A = this chain, B = another copy of it.
Amino acid sequence: MTPLHELTATGIVAAIHSGKTTAVAVAESFLAHIKLRELDVQAWNFLDPELVLQQAHALDKGGQHGPLQGVPVGIKDIIDTADMPTELGTAIHQGRRPTIDAACTALTRRAGGLIMGKTVTTEFANRFPGKTRNPHDASRTPGGSSSGSGAAVGAKMVPLAIGTQTTASTIRPASFCGCVGYVPTRGDIRTFGVMEAAASFDTIGLIARSVDDINLFRNVLIGTPPEALPEIALGEARIGLVRTGFWDQCDADTQNFIEEFAECLARYGARVNDVALPTAFDQIQDAHQWVSSFEFVRNRTFEIDHHWDAISPTLRGGRIKDGTECSFAQYGASREVLARCSLMLDDLFGNYDILLTPAVAGEAPIGLNSTGNASFSTIWTGLNVPALTLPLHRGPNGLPVGIQFISRRYADRTLLGYARAVERKFSIM
């Protein structure tokens, strides 16, 4: 029999609902597996096995059958939890205890989810890495900023984790850790109780091991009843292959795979075409950088004024410098760029259902002092469209490489439905 910690969220819920197992048994299985793996992976900033078992006992006693009944969930440590610290990846907030749960934490609990612990984040969900290592090779980065969430799911320490994304902070770690990563249309899932990095882009991100699990969790966090995904055949989509202006930053191996994969979808009957993005899109990365930095630095006013010495040189010389130098006129002009490109992307989606594009340059790079190249997400996060990465490829070293799928705003169910069809046929995990 499959060990419980190998089950997906959907599998766990089915097993508990049918009386085959209990929340306590599930929790114990995951805790035991975490004990085995955590020394290497370092995914957790806070994990109290007793608190986990208390929750599991309460769930079993409660007699409810929530849509996430008994599913262990990792929560990125910039998301408030009433019963655990929330430290934002910085010593400045060591021991900080929120008085209430973030909306997404509370909705997870309402659905019967079990909050396993707090996953490591980079400093203020920015670039300076935490302690986490890639679960598939401890010498490599797990990606960031939702480093612990990606690594915890990749290491099967939890089947689900919540991250966030302001640039590439969900898609990148999910891709490097061999997970499914999903960022919804911005605005669909509430961010109350989540540290604001840059509200123009901030979204909750979900990390899981299957698209069905993503769908299950998405409904819980939107706060709507469970709803199965539409069945979409591989041939039933108009696919646009988008190399983007960052294509030459991709490994040749990744480039080859994506091009072959596009041809493969065409063989299944999908209408696949190369998409040349409008030249205006070349401005998106800079615009995203200005807007996110302008907003970030103002959100961090308190820490900048009271704890300057405890902020990393990486953050001080990077985003804080950029955000301080950015004028309001530059900020406004950058927002204009994004608004204009957003309309162009709407037009483009008149001809495509799904865009196929790199999620990352390739395998997670060696070294723990950087979280990797974020360029492959800036266009999509900058334009607030939903994105999903699937583990479809192994790179030259046998490590997972995610491939990214994009849909228009509000077409999240189409995106997930198509991704599930792809997953069934092509997932490597």
In the complex, what residues of B have CB within 8 A of residue A110's CB?
Answer: 301, 305
CB within 8 Å of B: which of A356-405? Answer: none
Interface 0/1 of A323-337, CB less than 8 Å to B: 000011000100100
Whether A299 pairs with B190 at a CB distance below 8 angstroms is: yes
Of A16-24, A96-104, A147-155, the one contacting chain B is: A96-104
Judged by a CB distance under 8 angstroms, whether A200 is at the interface is: yes
Whether A222 pairs with B301 at a CB distance below 8 angstroms is: no
Q: Which of A100, A110, A224 has the most CB of B within 10 A?
A: A100
Task: State which of B106, B187, B222, B328 has its C-beta within 8 Å of the C-beta of A199.
Answer: B187
Whether B328 pairs with A222 at a CB distance below 8 angstroms is: yes
CB within 8 Å of B: which of A67-123? Answer: 82, 93, 96, 99-101, 103, 105-107, 109-110
How far is B103's CA from A300's CA once the two chains are assembled, in angstroms?
7
Task: State which of B187, B298, B303 has its C-beta within 8 Å of the C-beta of A190.
Answer: B298
In the complex, what residues of B have CB within 8 A of residue A302's CB?
Answer: 82, 100-101, 103, 105-106
Q: Tell me the count of chain A residues lying within 8 A, CB to CB, of chain B.
A: 36
Judged by a CB distance under 8 angstroms, whether A410 is at the interface is: yes
Interface 0/1 of A179-212, CB less than 8 Å to B: 0000000010011100110011000000000000
Interface 0/1 of A28-72, CB less than 8 Å to B: 000000000000000000000000000000000000000000000
Whether A332 pairs with B190 at a CB distance below 8 angstroms is: no
Interface 0/1 of A295-309, CB less than 8 Å to B: 101110111010000
How far is B200's CA from A295's CA once the two chains are assembled, in angstroms?
17
Task: State which of B100, B105, B223, B303 has its C-beta within 8 Å of the C-beta of A303.
Answer: B100
Whether A107 pairs with B298 at a CB distance below 8 angstroms is: yes
- How close is A334's CB to chain B, nearest CB, in angstroms? 12
In the complex, what residues of B have CB within 8 A of residue A327's CB?
Answer: 224
A–B complex contacts, Cβ < 8 Å, 11 sampled: A93-B99, A93-B100, A101-B302, A107-B298, A187-B199, A187-B335, A191-B199, A192-B196, A222-B328, A223-B297, A223-B301
Q: Across the A-B interface, give the 8 residue pairs with the lowest CB-CB distance, nearest first.
A: A106-B301, A192-B196, A192-B299, A106-B302, A100-B302, A223-B298, A101-B302, A224-B328
> Which residues of A pack against B, CB within 8 Å?
82, 93, 96, 99-101, 103, 105-107, 109-110, 187, 190-192, 195-196, 199-200, 222-224, 295, 297-299, 301-303, 305, 327-328, 332, 335, 410
